[in-house]
Amino acid sequence: MTNNRLIERLPKAELHMHLEGSLEPELMFELARRNNVSIPFESVDEVRAAYEFSNLQEFLDIYYQGMAVLQRPADFEDLTLAYCRRAHADRVRHVEVFFDPQGHTKRGVSMDTVVQGITGGLERAREELGLSSQLILCFLRHLDEADAFETLREAEPYLEHIAGVGLDSSEVGHPPSKFARLFAECGKHGLRRVAHAGEEGPPEYVWQALDELEVERIDHGNRALEDSALVDRLVDSAMPLTVCPLSNLKLCVVDDMQAHPLRTMLDRGLNASVNSDDPAYFGGYMNANFAAVAQSLALEPSHLGELAANSFRSSWLSDAQKQPFLDEIDLIVTEFTAV
């Protein structure tokens, strides 16, 4: 069996995926037609050709533009279900997905439309695929604190559908501390907390996410490796890092995949998992991300099993829900290494 066969067989949880980043060009065109929205591209190929980025901001500019085709609940439902089907085909068995409501409310699409559509898609995925899910509302960090508080207020009627909150968008210049009061308020609402940190931003932003936002996962965390005291803190607390290899390559966080820090993270005892971030923009879903690091970093079957196990351990499933997946992973890796 090749590593790719092992990757295909391992059950996985996806913990870092932006639903709007799963908008494939084909669906973008279909929704543009359906909603009579004009997009600045002539063809699917032209869209794909535009996906060359030299940093996070260049990607975000195109990502926010792409969202314009999402108008009605059915659009959000189709987007969500399409992602779930694609993830399920990669043996993803549980997802905790992000959405960016401010990217929609800013252009006149209501919170109700967005949440109704996404929860409809997740419900259909649960029925059709047996895929379990949780939903994470992300605040856009380039907008101000007042805008984020207003978004939290708009989300209040829907909190039964929202497990937690996150922090995304342009990192440098927008430190976690900007949202300390907001995250404290989210905590009072019983919302779980995660934040993007250390993707482009310095280790200091990871410290702030831990100490000032009290997050229970760090999304990305690559630059934490620059600070050994921070690495010790992350190792000692088994803090999950939701790492996104193809995203890091496409956004030039790493120069090439051989230079990706994932193997170093595992060797240092960090609790890292593999995720696809914005798969429609970065060239691959879960298994493509696994395959890229498996090959470029010469990962052993035990590493692949550890990454899959970390994804469930770091998820918000109960211990009783996690255990069958962890047992299955153990069995598959043992069988794989015995042949």
Closest approach of ligand ADE to the CB of residue 18, in Å: 4
Catalytic residue among 199, 200, 212, 306: 199
Q: At what angle do helices 301-313 and 319-338 cross, to 10 degrees?
A: 170
Closer to ligand ADE by Cβ: residue 57 or 235: 57
Closest approach of Zn ion to the CB of residue 124, in Å: 24
Nearest of 173, 113, 121 to residue 143 by alpha carbon: 173
Binding mask 254-283 for Zn ion (x = CB under 5 A): -----------------------x------
Residue 85 token pair: 């089907």
Among Zn ion, ligand ADE, none, the one that 200 touches (CB under a kind-dependent 5 to 8 A) is none
The verdict on 247 binding ligand ADE (CB under 6 A) reads yes
* Whole-number CA gyration radius for the chain: 19
The verdict on 278 binding ligand ADE (CB under 6 A) reads yes
Q: Which position among 134, 169, 242, 287 is part of the footprint of ligand ADE (CB under 6 A)?
A: 169
Closer to ligand ADE by Cβ: residue 109 or 317: 109
Among ligand ADE, Zn ion, none, the one that 102 touches (CB under a kind-dependent 5 to 8 A) is none
Q: How many CB atoms lie within 10 A of CB 228?
A: 11
Q: Give all strands of the β-sheet with 164-168 in edge-to-edge order.
A: 12-14, 92-99, 132-140, 164-168, 192-197, 217-220, 240-243, 271-274
Among ligand ADE, Zn ion, none, the one that 240 touches (CB under a kind-dependent 5 to 8 A) is none
Closer to Zn ion by Cβ: residue 61 or 232: 61
Instruction: Clarify whether 199 is annotated catalytic.
Output: yes
Torsion over CA: 139, 140, 141, 144 (sign): negative
Closest approach of ligand ADE to the CB of residue 172, in Å: 11
Amino acid at 182: L
The verdict on 56 binding ligand ADE (CB under 6 A) reads yes
Distance CA 136, CA 99 (A): 6
Residues 6+ apart with CB under 8 A from 34: 75
> Residue numbers of the site for ligand ADE (CB under 6 A)?
18, 21, 56, 63, 168-169, 196, 199, 247, 277-278
Task: Write out the catalytic residue numbers.
Answer: 199
